[in-house]
Amino acid sequence: MFMNALHMRFAAAGAGVVVLVLFLLVGGSFGQHEVIQLDYGMYPDMLEGSQVEIDGKVVGALERTGQTTRAGFKVKKGRHVVRVLHPEIPADDIEVEVRPGEKVRVLLDMVERYDRDTRTSSTAIGGQL
């Protein structure tokens, strides 16, 4: 009887180890995710509701959570191109490198552009790491 119970415990422990290894092999993690956080607190009324594009795909919008003017988007580790799509303001590409388990915070800002030939200026959405 005692040996039977011991065998069952070893079998359950072995099955648990197998499940854990499979979970980690398919990219599972325990609470740590790679995230790009966009902080738009400098222009919350102007940028709220703007769509966010990462690597050419729209992944969500800039939306407040209470008073917080920061939106986070899960990504995979590696290099990403972020762009904020606003109907009236063009956007610059923001290149971000995300390491495993890292949260990268990008401060969105309005960038003035000047064209020396035509002496005009324009505003675009850019970011600083």
What pLDDT, on the 0 to 100 scale, is given for residue 118? Answer: 66
pLDDT for the residue numbered 119: 64
Three-class SS state of 2: helix
Q: What residues contact residue 83 under an 8 Å CB cut-off, 6+ apart?
A: 52, 53, 54, 91, 92, 93, 94
- The pLDDT value recorded for residue 49 is 93
SS3 3: helix
The pLDDT value recorded for residue 58 is: 96
pLDDT at 79: 96
Give φ, ψ of 20 to 5 degrees: -60, -45
Q: Which neighbouring-strand residues pair with 84?
A: 52
For residues 64 and 48, give the distance between their C-alpha atoms in angstroms, rounded to a whole number. 7
Residue 84, classed as helix, strand or coil, is strand
pLDDT (0 to 100) of residue 128: 76
How many other CB atoms are there within 10 angstroms of residue 58's CB atom?
11
For residue 65, what pLDDT is reported? 83
Integer CA distances (angstroms), 37 to 18, 32, 33, 71, 75, in order: 35, 14, 12, 6, 10
pTM of the model: 0.69
- Which pLDDT score, from 0 to 100, does residue 78 have? 95
Per-residue pLDDT of the chain (129 residues; tens, 9 = 90+): 556 776 777 777 777 777 766 666 665 555 568 999 999 998 899 999 999 999 999 999 999 888 889 999 999 999 999 999 998 888 999 999 999 999 999 999 988 877 777 666 667 788 877
